[in-house]
Chain A
């Protein structure tokens, strides 16, 4: 993205997106590493074996949940970035507007042309019909 003078809030938002990305990826990695470390089982704690096992179980659960959370957060981030891009991508919006207006102008020209042709045809026909009608004996009752 071209680094123009973005407003402060936009700048902050982009930074926050970047921070979120880093945080989430870091969280994925760290939690995985921690799980692997726990799986090694080299703990020299004061606790008893069973307690340690229980603690490790819980910690692994929490860490895996954290990984899932980070993954989903990444999905959310992707969605947010998409939304941000859609809403703030002014060049593409301008393109769309230009294209739309081109299409509409073209349509307008076509419609105008068709109407002109139609008008001319109708005027010619109307002339003949008027001629015929007023020349004939049969004239309809005119409703006011």
Chain B
């Protein structure tokens, strides 16, 4: 290696001291002449050492060792004569070899140089042909193997027509789910984000080609006694879901009374595990289940968020996977999220539940529906009315100007209820409806005499229902019937009575019960008067709210006095809501008239005597009106 280093060759300034005499005089060495110094330097060259060092350096280079460690080797590369020396050495070697070859060629003592025969050995032509044949055979074998493999795979696909092709399945999958290719894998999405959901959790899944284990599962023949064989889930697709989306999830809604134990036993449902998704379930079912899991999670997250934010007289509680909201005094709504994973095959977490059948399907359904509505609203904005207008305001608000809506109405318009509020309202209504049903049925059972017939309206909304109550007496339904309409709202009841009066009641069912009992008594009095009209009797007096007599616990007693067609008999009826009916009879002219000091004349006997109460329970007749009819009939005199 040649380094272009300028080497200045010159004698040092000071001559070397050769000898110092005793007297101190120094004898200087004579400076070397140019040729002398060159020969001296040349004498320093150690050819053998240089060669060794060079080899060592090459090996060192390979090892990537620091050459600087060996200063001698390092210096040798810097040797200015190195390249010269190498070239000389190479030239020498070659010249030596040439001379050796020449010597051998010339001497012919030990070796003879012969020309290589150029002609091809014809005798070996067949060998090469065979060799070629063999080579071609080998190549053909490779090709055939490859072709065979292709053919096998094709015929395999053709034979297993029942097993769908991967691409066909992928096409089916693509038709139903969102898919995209990321790198080498196919990623799908089960989330409802395109449908308007704003839930953060992603619903990514991965689609892969299923391994070929279907052939092994085909081999055992199905026993004929096994009945209908469930369809084989031999799918060419495999869907991999994240662990948090696996399994089955559902939202469970309960209504609970406060007096029930707060901590009930957690029922582990074995049915849930058995109906859960199998690991080899069809991808469509699997994805649907995953989507449901995601939906339930979103729903629960939304409700939990609202429960925490919603101010209320009694704050709603969110404990674990359970939301407890009090809806009416003593009644609580419990919304729980159940998520079971197939891996451990047990219910992961669930709210304390009383019975499996206790949860409310209707509320669960409507809670799902509410979130779907939210999703729908997120994607379906009403079109802006002037096309340049802002996107968002509803059509109602666009019409607010032309229809001159006032501030209050506008404020009402902008209000929107949260999911939790809506579901609470529905639950309140549900409870109210249950209570109303209960009251109506118990009263119908307790009160036998006027029949109480209630008809529920089949058209109602989730927060409003209507029931028609018909009070009438069996056999006399054409004479008199009392109609009531009860509107069941969210936290109140509204009853429209026969006379058109409207009663507003709170959620306490006792109020409805009292009202009904009063109405029943009033019905009796009204019915008696209607009956009297048919019988030809006259109504002398009638009072729905009688001020006399002992004070009633609730309502007022009502009464009427009837006179016979001849006017010689009087019947007084008094109905008290709590006690029942009293019927009294009087004669006019009175039979036991004795002139006294005050009332002397005989004419006063026509005034009528004192009323005597009829022992009503001894009367003949099926019901009150029947008895009254018989009584009137017996008291009617022909003359």
Contacts and interface: CB of A to CB of B under 8 A. Distances in A.
Contacts of B134: 57
Interface stretch (A14-22, A60-68, A106-114): A60-68
A77 interface: no
Given A86-B167, A86-B170, A49 B145 contact: no
A73 to B, nearest CB: 11
Interface of B: 120-121, 124, 127-129, 131-132, 134-136, 138-140, 142-143, 145-147, 149-150, 167, 170-171, 174-176, 179-181, 186, 438, 441-442, 444-445, 448, 451-456, 458, 474
Contacts of A79: 167
B445 A142 contact: yes
Which 5 residue pairs are nearest across A and B when measured between Cβ atoms?
A68-B146, A123-B458, A53-B131, A57-B135, A64-B139
Binding site secondary structure of chain A = helix
Contact of B175 (A60, A96, A142): A96
Contact of A83 (B124, B143, B181): B181
Nearest to B138: A61
Interface centre among A63, A67, A142 (most CB of B within 10 A): A142
9 contacts: A56-B131, A60-B139, A61-B142, A64-B146, A68-B146, A82-B167, A126-B456, A130-B454, A134-B451
Interface of A: 35, 38-39, 41, 49-50, 52-54, 56-57, 60-61, 63-65, 67-68, 71-72, 75, 79, 82-84, 86-87, 92-93, 96-97, 100, 119-120, 122-123, 126-127, 130-131, 134-135, 137, 139, 141-142, 144
A114 to B, nearest CB: 15
Contacts of A131: 453, 455
Contact of B135 (A56, A93, A100): A56
Contacts of A67: 143, 146
B150 A134 contact: no
Nearest to A41: B132
Contact of A64 (B127, B129, B140, B442): B140
Nearest to A95: B175
A130 B456 contact: yes
Contacts of A49: 120-121, 124, 127-128
Nearest to A35: B139
Contact of A71 (B146, B455, B474): B146
Nearest to A138: B445
B49 to A, nearest CB: 42
Contacts of B448: 137
A78 to B, nearest CB: 10
A92 B174 CA distance: 10
Nearest to A119: B458
Contacts of B142: 61, 64-65, 68
A72 B174 contact: no
Contacts of B445: 139, 141-142
Contacts of A139: 441, 444-445
A126 B459 CA distance: 13
Contacts of B128: 41, 49, 52-53
B170 A144 contact: no
Nearest to B435: A144
B171 A86 contact: yes
A48 B456 CA distance: 108
A25 B482 CA distance: 94
B215 to A, nearest CB: 20
A86 B207 CA distance: 13
Nearest to B474: A135
A60 B140 CA distance: 9
A83 B170 CA distance: 8
Given A72-B150, A122-B458, A127-B455, A100 B176 contact: yes
Contacts of B175: 92-93, 96-97, 100
Nearest to B154: A75
Contacts of B132: 38-39, 41, 53, 56
Given A56-B131, A64-B139, A130-B456, 8 more contacts: A57-B131, A61-B138, A67-B143, A68-B143, A123-B458, A139-B445, A142-B441, A142-B445
Nearest to B143: A64
A123 B149 CA distance: 68
B453 A134 contact: yes
A139 B136 CA distance: 99
